[in-house]
Structure 1
Amino acid sequence: MWGMSEERRGYLYGLLAYVMWGFFPIYFKTLRPASPLEILAHRVVWSVVFVALLLTAMRNWRFLSRLLRSPRLLGGISVAAVLIAINWGTYIYGVNSSRVVETALGYFITPLVLVLLGVTVQRERLRRWQWAAVAVGGIAVAVLTVDYGRLPWIALLLAASFGTYSLVKKRLSLPPAEGLFVESSVLAIPALVFVAWLATTGDTKFGHVSALHTVLMVLSGVATAVPLLLFAASANRISMTSIGILQYVAPILQLACGLVIYHEPMPPARLAGFCLVWVALIIFTADAIRQGRRASRSRTATGSTAATVEPVTALPPH
């Protein structure tokens, strides 16, 4: 990458991050026959271990003193930790119960859920085309509910948990590595208790399936942290509108995994629902790009540095 501009590096880092997230279904499928809760517990524990080693190598532990002096910040991080655990656990369950297509749907509709949360929680005002995108997304969920014969609860829980997590994280000010370490640390004690309980009851699969399975369980911490750090490196180099467009790489690849590799069904009604979601995202993304260009022209005309490009999303998935 020598000689590559910072912007091109940003796009490369972002693409690598989202491609890694896009192939997560394959990774988590290989962790069976461990249960989703056992996989989640090990993902939490090994994330703490890996990021602790990383922070030690970077000699970057000063942030802990600020945390210990701020009960409000600790409370916010604890809430974020619970939300991301729900998101991770739901995703692992969806993948390992042969609902990869539905997990992809969850990340397709996440931007629309973020907009709704902005309206309901932060009292933001939507533009006309944003309302149009949300309305089309709502119709899509109705069509998919009829097709599934139930609410697509995995998709909705993924989108809702991640959207709420995003709102909480927006109010915190920790870099990705430090944030992941603290959130995982909050979850580490119950995760370790659960792992120990599985060991005592003889229900654990860790260390009892194969050497490769054990190694992959341990590396789940690395698999969690690396794309997150790549995303952070990307977000520091390119606009959030560009990140917002790149984010669709992950659910597209997840959808491809579900359809091509795992041969999950896609009946016509379900395809129609997905097409409506994609129409909503096209409207939403086009509106965000148009607003970004308008803000850029405004800054150029006024010479102001205060205006900012409206982001399509602010955080990565998974």
Structure 2
Amino acid sequence: MTPETRTGLLAGLGAYVIWGLLPFYLRLLHGVPAADVLAHRILWSVLVVALLIAALRGWQRLGAALRQPRLLLLLLASAVCIAINWLVYTWAILNGHALDTSLGYFINPLVSVVFGVVLLGERLSRLQWAAVACAAAGVVVLTIAHGNLPMIAIALALSFGTYGLIRKQAAVDAATGLFIETLMLAPVALLWLLSLPKVQTAGLAAWPGPLLALLMLGGVLTAAPLMLFGVAARRLKLSTMGLMQYIAPSMVFLQAIFLFGEAIDPWQMLAFAATWTGLALYTLSLGRPVAPAAQPR
């Protein structure tokens, strides 16, 4: 194992473990509205990433990015997607739907595969098509059994899948991109917090000290895994990253059942089984080449 690979593995493991433990953090904020948590998460992330850019002397890269209108439009779109993702995830955890978030992030890789085919013209192998079909079957099972779409899972998978698609088109490093995204969201977050009656009358002092410290920690827990993920993505094979991305939803799944006391019915178990089968097929397919498209004569 080369030093580069070892660094990538440690960074990737760190990112996914932090994401996997995020429900513990959010459960400590029980009673705080999801929108308030999101606003704090955005504002403190701006500060954390700004300090990181300063430490890495990345102001020149930031200045170059800010002079590219197309890049700024892409990052505005990705900022909206990630804000929706964070809000849905936070609300779901605070309201006892950790299982739904786990399913969403299990589905997400297969949503990204579909986006690649539909929007980027990528080709899939038979195994990959079978993987997508399994995930779709899981959604159909839940829809028929419960009488409605699993909206939390779908919202998380689509929002994060779209975020990844947009960031794939944005030629910018992880720290600079995240800083611009959170900076764009910061005015809305600040206006939201200032609209709260208790903040209007007493400022940040209205929040109890321990609670304010937890809300500030959200900035670190938002920025750190994304930075670690960026380090890992540049150093590891796609197949390795494909395997590691199941760490976080697996951890959330186990927490939901064994620690948070969420019940899983047989239909949900069947849907998870279909999704896991799809993920196994998809992971297996990463080691096999896709047949090239026929060339016109």
Cα displacement string for residues 136-191 of structure 1 (whole angstroms, at most 9, x for unaligned residues): 11111111223333211000010001111111100111111111100000100011
Q: What letter matches 1:250 in structure 2?
A: A
Say if 2:43 and 2:189, in contact at 8 Å, map to a contact too.
yes
Q: How far apart in 2 are the matches of 1:164 and 1:240?
A: 19
Cα displacement string for residues 236-261 of structure 1 (whole angstroms, at most 9, x for unaligned residues): 22212201110000000011111111
Runs of 4+ in 1 over 6 A off after TM superposition: 201-206
| TM-score normalised by the chain length of structure 1 | 0.86
Q: How far apart in 2 are the matches of 1:200 and 1:263?
A: 33
**1:73-222, aligned counterparts within 5 Å?**
73-199=71-197, 208=206, 210-222=208-220
Say if 1:20 and 1:227, in contact at 8 Å, map to a contact too.
yes
The answer to whether 1:261 aligns with 2:288 is no
Which of the pair is proportionally richer in helix? 2
Cα displacement string for residues 20-56 of structure 1 (whole angstroms, at most 9, x for unaligned residues): 1001111111122110000001100000011111212
Q: How far apart in 2 are the matches of 1:50 and 1:261?
A: 30
Say if 1:119 and 1:126, in contact at 8 Å, map to a contact too.
yes
Q: What letter matches 2:12 in structure 1?
A: G
Say if 2:194 and 2:200, in contact at 8 Å, map to a contact too.
no
Which moves more between the two structures, 61-70 or 96-105? 61-70
SS in 1 for 2:254: helix
Q: How far apart in 2 are the matches of 1:267 and 1:125?
A: 36
Superposed CA RMSD in Å reads: 2.2
SS in 1 for 2:236: coil
Taking structure 1 as reference, are residues 207 and 143 closer, same or farther at Cα in structure 2, changes over 3 Å only?
Answer: farther
Q: How far apart in 2 are the matches of 1:204 and 1:175?
A: 38
Q: How far apart in 1 are the matches of 2:51 and 2:217?
A: 13
Alignment size in residue pairs:
292
Counterpart for residue 313 of structure 1: none
Say if 1:206 and 1:217, in contact at 8 Å, map to a contact too.
no
Q: How far apart in 2 are the matches of 1:140 and 1:92?
A: 23
Counterpart for residue 311 of structure 1: none
Q: Is there any run of 5+ residues in structure 1 with no aligned partner, and where?
A: 296-318
Q: How far apart in 2 are the matches of 1:51 and 1:245?
A: 28
SS in 1 for 2:124: coil
Say if 1:34 and 1:205, in contact at 8 Å, map to a contact too.
no
Counterpart for residue 247 of structure 1: 245
TM superposition shift of 1:11: 1.2
| TM-score normalised by the chain length of structure 2 | 0.92
Say if 2:198 and 2:206, in contact at 8 Å, map to a contact too.
no
Counterpart selection for 2:34 from 36, 41, 52: 36
Counterpart for residue 227 of structure 1: 225
Q: What letter matches 2:17 in structure 1?
A: V
TM superposition shift of 1:108: 0.1
Counterpart for residue 281 of structure 2: 283
Q: How far apart in 1 are the matches of 2:227 and 2:50?
A: 14
Q: How far apart in 1 are the matches of 2:23 and 2:10?
A: 22
Percent identity of the aligned residues? 40
Say if 1:80 and 1:165, in contact at 8 Å, map to a contact too.
yes
Q: How far apart in 2 are the matches of 1:215 and 1:274?
A: 36
Cα displacement string for residues 191-217 of structure 1 (whole angstroms, at most 9, x for unaligned residues): 100011014677999655642211010
Say if 2:193 and 2:199, in contact at 8 Å, map to a contact too.
no
Q: What letter matches 2:86 in structure 1?
A: W
Q: How far apart in 1 are the matches of 2:32 and 2:65?
A: 34
Q: What letter matches 2:130 in structure 1?
A: A
**1:297-312, aligned counterparts within 5 Å?**
none
